[in-house]
Amino acid sequence: MDLAFTKEEIAFREEVREFFRNNVPPDTRRKLQEGRHLSKDEMVTWWRILNKKGWGVSHWPKEYGGTGWTSVQSYIFNEELQSYPAPQPLAFGVSMVGPVIYTFGNEKQKKEYLPRIANVDDWWCQGFSEPGSGSDLASLKTKAERRGDKWIINGQKTWTTLAQHADMIFCLCRTDNNAKKQMGISFIVFSMKSKGVTVRPIQTIDGGHEVNEVFFDDVEVPYENLIGEENKGWDYAKFLLGNERTGIARVGVSKERLRRIRDLASKVESGGRPVIEDPAFREKLTACEIELKALELTQLRVVADEGKHGKGKPNPASSVLKIKGSEIQQTTTELLMEVIGPFAAPYDEHGDAGSNESMDWSAQIAPSYFNNRKVSIYGGSNEIQRNIISKAVLGL
């Protein structure tokens, strides 16, 4: 057992840091630090810088543009990216649909989609959840009917993140009503510009617009846009969700936020001294740092295990990552709220336009707290994660 990175790994970390220092647009970094939303332009600009460097789809197989990094290198890259902070690659393309296409798609699909995902020529969104199908995703109703060489798609998706920017959607559709619910689902991709697609924004409690409802009204999609086999979509969805085991802990994000808390808490005063000098507050902060250290170690155990024994058999500890990772992210936003106290209240109606100078430093803290309640809900709620642990790990 040894915690140290090798000399090569340390050199790699330096290379990554150096690249971020020289290439992440300063405004983009600042906005992330302040918990602000980025524009589509800002995100795409950065991802193309990353892709030009050859790091846009780093964990893909080399033949599709990946880097061939070890698990530890990938870990270092993500950790540095999150804690710099710089925008993470668009998960829907890079981590979700990309691996499904290169694993289950045909040659034509690989050639058509993969380079465009890497360069974000297409912005992808995910058509999974429906109003009646959240945790019970397999009960989904959006229907794709085959008519000649076309699919006719009708139904509704919801919680579709950043669909307002999207060019493409990957969609779970029911293609067999008579089969067991998991067996009648297909994985179909199509253009968001198709006739019959309507996107309606959902405003979340933080005032932001990240998620949407998406309606399909007799949308015509070429039959060849089916990925893999008909009615095997549920398997691909499970593959997709299981693919991103370690990134979900977002240790780097929480680290960056904890640094920001220490920084703010040494500037904001309470009782005639900086908040950081209040022992009660400091102990809460320290407790969170310790939880995060434990999570980081748990994540490293999973990473080291994958590096050594491959990704085939997940380390049981990996199921801890989502639960603890989300709880810690939420705690960090709570601590930020505590630091700024009454200055959490002013609401910047114009959001990221920064209309009010005096609230610049604090305006995003309450929204970020409200917004982060989502992290224990999405990606399989923490209650679903507990179901997984109790069944898959404990055998209950």
Partner 1 sequence: MDFDLTEEQRLLKESVDGLLADAYDFDARKKYMKEKGGWSKAIWDRLAEQGLLGLPFAEADGGFGAGAVETMIVMEAMGRALVVEPYLATVVIGGGFLRHGGSADQKAKHIPGIIDGSKTFAFAQLEKNSRYDLHDVVTTAKKKGDGWVIDGEKFVVLNGENADTLIVTARTKGGQRDKTGIGLFLVPADARGITRKGYPTQDGLHAADISFTNVEVGADAALGDPENALPLIERVADEARTAVCAEAVGAMDESLKTTVEYIKTRKQFGVAIGSFQSLQHRAADMFVALEQARSMSMFATMASDFDNARERSSAVAAAKVQVGKSLKFVGQQSIQLHGGIGMTMEAKIGHYFKRLTMIENTLGDTDYHLRRVSEGGGLLA
Q: What residues act catalytically? A: 244
> Of 155, 91, 78, 88, which Cα lies nearest the Cα of 124?
91
| Residue among 241, 268, 300, 377 that touches partner 1 (CB under 8 A) | 300
| Residue among 316, 341, 350, 355 that touches partner 1 (CB under 8 A) | 316
| Residue among 152, 317, 337, 344 that touches partner 1 (CB under 8 A) | 317
Q: How many residues does the chain have?
A: 396
Q: Are 82 and 255 in contact (CB under 8 A)?
A: yes
Indicate the residue among 256 and 348 with the shorter CB distance to partner 1.
Answer: 256
Q: Which residue stretch of 47-55, 112-120, 181-189, 253-261 sits at the interface with partner 1 (rule: CB under 8 A)? A: 253-261
Residues in contact with partner 1, shown as a per-residue x/- string from 70 to 109 under the rule CB under 8 A: --x-------------------------------------
**Separation of alpha carbons 343 and 18, rounded Å:** 36
CB of 290 to partner 1, least distance (A): 5
Q: Are 385 and 322 in contact (CB under 8 A)?
A: yes
**Separation of alpha carbons 105 and 170, rounded Å:** 13
Indicate the residue among 168 and 339 with the shorter CB distance to partner 1.
Answer: 339
| Residue among 209, 262, 311, 373 that touches partner 1 (CB under 8 A) | 262
CB of 109 to partner 1, least distance (A): 37
Which amino acid, 184?
G
CB of 4 to partner 1, least distance (A): 7
In the region spanning residues 336 to 395, those forming contacts with partner 1, defined by CB under 8 A, are 383, 385-387, 389-391, 393-395
| Residue among 192, 211, 258, 264 that touches partner 1 (CB under 8 A) | 258
Backbone φ and ψ of 210, nearest 5°: -110, -35
Collapsed DSSP state (helix, strand, coil) of residue 56:
coil
In the region spanning residues 266 to 295, those forming contacts with partner 1, defined by CB under 8 A, are 279, 282-283, 285-287, 289-295
H or E element at residue 35: none
Residue 176 per-residue DSSP state: -
Q: According to the binding rule CB under 8 A, does residue 320 interact with partner 1?
A: yes
| Residue among 174, 250, 255, 374 that touches partner 1 (CB under 8 A) | 255
Helices (H), 189-267: 233-243, 251-265
Nearest 5 degrees, angle CA 242-CA 143-CA 91? 30
Q: Tell me the sheet residues that pair with 143.
A: 154, 174
The first and second tokens of residue 169, run together, are 């959607």
- Other beta carbons within 10 angstroms of residue 74's beta carbon come to 19
CB of 289 to partner 1, least distance (A): 4
Backbone φ and ψ of 217, nearest 5°: -125, 95
Size of interface with partner 1, in residues (CB under 8 A): 49
The first and second tokens of residue 187, run together, are 């994985």
In the region spanning residues 4 to 23, those forming contacts with partner 1, defined by CB under 8 A, are 4-6, 9
Chain residues in the site for partner 1 (CB under 8 A):
1-6, 9, 72, 255, 258-259, 262, 279, 282-283, 285-287, 289-295, 297-298, 300-301, 303-305, 308, 316-317, 320, 323-324, 383, 385-387, 389-391, 393-396
